[in-house]
Structure 1
Amino acid sequence: MPKSNNAESCRVLKEARLVERKFLARPQQEGAGAIVRRSIGRFELKYFDPFLVLDEFSVTAPAGFPDHPHRGFETVTYMLQGCVTHEDFEGHKGTIGAGDLQWMTAGKGIVHSEMSAAQGTQKGLQLWINLSSNHKMIEPRYQEIQSKNIAEAVRDGIKVRVIAGEALGTKSPIFTRTPTMYMDFTLKPEAHLQQPIPTSWNAFVYVLEGEGIFGSLKSPPTSAHHLLLLGSGEELDAWNKSSKPLRFILVGGEPLGEPVVQFGPFVMNTQQEIDRTIDDFENCVNGFEKARHWRSETAISLDI
């Protein structure tokens, strides 16, 4: 029998992850005049190990997220439009513009602000990733990448920006304490994506623009602002059968399998640890020492 020259014929078939649950993220008020579409961290889906929150946010000056604390997890801010200024009680400050990434490890404690930095509407995504009990009290850390330096690849009508992990042979330089993959895919009409996902990881898709089919060609199309929780399997299959581009993020992470106790911006393993965290914050100790006399420049200027 003659050998086939078609590389696809030699491809080992992998089990595709099917869509198990689907949510429409509806707008709600958050922070100071900000609008968020929350898909993880809402009453129907409190936690998707290791992910605590996923917000698609929209802020118009002077709206934003004034001075607030965090402990026990990481925040990943990925700007889609406009820019946001941020500052914290350690003196770290700057501006995140369209396409830029900030990966902040709050660890044992940070107090910071995130506010609109330009006229018009600023849009982005913020993902909260839980930290294991071994890492909840580490020193805070930032990883920031400008849009021009984010790893990208293009192939067969597919463009990917690799925030974390690897896709289409391209790797991100971001270090993830909780093993995580985070990709921003854009598929042209008729493009078909097959993206490997570690079998032991939880994974989800959030659609940003257009309309796509995920998991199986028998699945109904999914449009913007929908979260899709993926079942077990080895890869994500996605198709763009529409006449317009499809853009979505694919996020996956290794489950921690630990107890989660959350009180607003504090995420620990036990109620006792939460009580201690509240005491630490109120008394400005154990990582919150600089919170006693700190206010962001934005808070001072706006008197908030």
Structure 2
Amino acid sequence: MSQSDRTGERPGGPVAGETVRHGTGVNSNRAFPTSNYPHNLDPFVLFERFYIEPDTGFPTHPHRGFEIVSYMLDGAMAHEDSLGVAHTAREGAAMRITTGRGIEHSELPADGAACNGLQLWVNLPRAEKDAEPDYEDAEPAELPTEERDGASVTTVVGEGSPLSLRTPTEYLDVAVTDAWSWSMPDDWAGFCYGVAGEGTVDGRDFGEGDVLPVTDGRDVELATDEGFRVVAVSGRPHGEPIRQRGPFVL
């Protein structure tokens, strides 16, 4: 990808994710908000890929005011929370947490080995900020996968998935094999994020750690010669300010 694309100088083009370090030394590639894309993406607060080494992680900490979707790419992550849930998510599994009025949880590597995955924060609308905290998870076999023209698509959140959010959302894990068109409702917003391999989005180079924000509901064309993997996430905006204060979304 050219430097002009990576710094966002070409409107509507891909930008590079940015490394952030948090927890007890966890490195993440954050898609947004970053210096390259210094905005939330209503209804989404942030999105990143986390890499947890055996001696790092996220010890018990609080959250409130939003929902979390964690999706494992490799290894296993142990989750425990103040609802009494203790669950280990392995490759291909997903978890949804509604933090609502407040929850505490920890996220640590399981089995003494490193793990990595994707985490999405989805804002709760103002009227639901004080919702009861809740949790659900899904094993890989529960997430529907179908072959579409030019891609194999797994639905993490959306039609056929057991995971549900309080905001209408579609979260797809897409293995692009040739050319694939991604679409969303006209009044939704979303993004593509590069997980592995290389290709193009709307004719522009796109690879691991790159993100394409989409705020105009347009169709996006993805193509590859070698094969690449992306997640494509979209949702209906709330039209409300997103006020993030560390682990809280007010």
TM-score using structure 2 length: 0.90
* Aligned residue in 2 for 1:41: 33
User: How far off is 1:45 after superposition?
Assistant: 2.1
1:57 aligns with 2:44: no
- Greater helix share, structure number: 1
2:214 alignment counterpart: 230
SS in 2 for 1:173: coil
Retained in 1: the 8 A contact 2:169–2:233?
Answer: yes
- Superposed counterparts of 1:83-232, under 5 Å: 83-166=76-159, 171-188=160-177, 191-215=178-202, 219-232=203-216
Residue aligning to 2:247? 265
Computed over aligned residues only, the root mean square deviation of the Cα atoms, in angstroms, reads 1.7
CA contact (8 A) 1:201 1:254 kept: yes
Q: C-alpha distance in 1, partners of 2:204/2:83?
A: 48
Which residue identity lines up with residue 197 of structure 1 in the other structure? M
CA distance in structure 2 between the partners assigned to 1:130 and 1:148 by the alignment: 28
Q: How many residues align?
A: 240
In structure 2, distance between residues paired with 1:38 and 1:60 = 17
Unaligned runs of 5+ in 2: 1-9
CA contact (8 A) 2:45 2:242 kept: no
Q: What is the aligned partner in structure 2 of residue 246 from structure 1?
A: 228
Q: Give 1:209's aligned amino acid.
A: A
Residue 236 to residue 19, structure 1, CA distance change in 2 (3 Å):
farther
Identical amino acids, percent of aligned pairs: 34
SS of 2:12 mapped into structure 1: strand
Post-superposition offset of 1:35: 0.8
Question: CA–CA distance in 2 between the matches of 1:233 and 1:264?
Answer: 29
Name the stretch that deviates more: 70-79 or 18-27: 18-27
Letter in 1 for 2:208: A
| Residues 204 and 177 of structure 1, relative CA distance in 2, 3 Å threshold | same
Look up the equivalent residue of 2:22 and give its one-letter code: E
Bigger strand fraction: 2
Equivalent-residue separation in structure 2 for 1:95 and 1:57 (angstroms): 16
User: Using a 3 Å threshold, how does the CA distance of structure 1 residues 81 and 19 change in structure 2: closer, same or farther?
Assistant: farther
24 and 92 in structure 1: CA distance in 2 versus 1, 3 angstrom threshold: same
Runs of 4+ in structure 1 deviating by more than 4 angstroms, as ranges, are none
Q: Secondary structure at the match of 2:204?
A: coil
1:134 aligned counterpart, secondary structure: helix
Larger Rg: 1
Length-normalised TM-score, structure 1: 0.75
Partner of 1:66, secondary structure, is strand
